[in-house]
Amino acid sequence: MPGLTRTVLARHPVAAALAGVLLLAIGAASAIVVVQRQAEAAVSATRLIGEVDEFNDELNRLLWEGISRDRTDPTVIAHIRTSVATFLERHHQLEEIGVAGADFHRQSTVYASSVEVMVDALDTGNRAEALVLHRAEVAPASEAVEESLDEMSAREDARAATLRRMSVVGTLAILVLAALVAWIMFSRYERARRLAHRAYHDPLTGL
């Protein structure tokens, strides 16, 4: 089999070169598809991080609303608990796609737990305790989560930009390979045409 391969390469070098370039182009195209999918995943991760950030802001707004009222509205309490559950759900999604690490898991857990304790205080009408909890536990935990979200967003934005550049470079490489194949085929055709012309025409008179 190796001998047959060497014979084919020796007899048809241009065809072998074209086949090699074609295989290289196919491999490059496959790699570009993978890179593009990774870039899309990074963009989706950034979008999800933004959603978590929005839920965090909404949760802080609701908590301040609960503290500022003389008597906390039960619907506000229910809304806060729903927002906490949604926040944790989005957090788990970040973990599933491999964006959130152990530090963010710990920060989110501390934040959600402190919010639950604060909400319990608001639910019993103890606004003073809720305010102390907010200053001592909830606000610092919220800031830590916010910083982690900003870092994750910046990291995924950078990754998406890098992958997009790789995709562009890969696409250009395929175009160059395609141009190379076209040039080889055209050169082969021109050489065959000239040889055929010389075989059937007088080189001096051209007849």
**Angle at CA 79, nearest 5°, toward 74 and 83?**
150
Give me the pLDDT at residue 201, please. Answer: 60
User: What pLDDT does 49 receive?
Assistant: 84
The alpha carbon of 56 is separated from its chain's Cα centroid by a whole number of angstroms, namely 22
End-to-end CA distance of the chain: 47
Which parts of the chain have pLDDT scores under 70?
1-22, 24-25, 27-28, 70-72, 189, 197, 199-207
Give residue 9's pLDDT: 44
Give pTM, 2 decimals. 0.65
pLDDT of residue 197: 63
Rounded CA separation 88/193 (Å): 72
**pLDDT of amino acid 10:** 46
